[in-house]
Amino acid sequence: MLEQDERLHFSNIFGSVSDKRIVLNHKNGSEEIPKGQITSVSFQKVRNLFMSIFSFLFSIILISYMIVVINSGSSEGGIIVLITSVLLILSVLSGIANWIGHHNIVISAGGNDRKPIRVEMSKTREGNEFVKAVKKLIFK
């Protein structure tokens, strides 16, 4: 709730920025931080390279296995190729998603990093706008 002499500068799904404080919206609640306590704010890209490389290598193994099954000519080959194809698609998509990654909004206040807010790919623009609004407030 805004005080009488407080003016709201920006608001979206990640929080709100007023001239006296910011409010961070987390999945399980919100957190208020007074303007004077904020020391830094950043919009960081996070990727899981290990999982993406593992997924791509697993995809190569699945392709090799499918080739062996197809060339063997067994009667159950069709079902095995179908199941392997589904696993291959899931593995490739997992590799791409982990390679692309996601973003986090990280705010430091009082010398401590607050719990980062995870920004999904579809909300990247809104997350970046929120970070710009916070930076504009604290680095005037």
pLDDT of the chain, 140 residues: tens digit per residue: 556 777 888 999 999 998 888 888 888 888 888 888 888 899 999 889 999 999 999 999 999 988 888 888 777 777 888 899 999 999 999 999 999 888 999 988 877 888 888 888 888 899 999 999 989 888 77
Return the pLDDT at 132: 92
Task: For the full predicted model, state whether its pTM sits above 0.75.
Answer: no
Q: 44, 108 in Cβ contact below 8 A?
A: no
Return the pLDDT at 113: 83
Q: 69, 77 in Cβ contact below 8 A?
A: yes
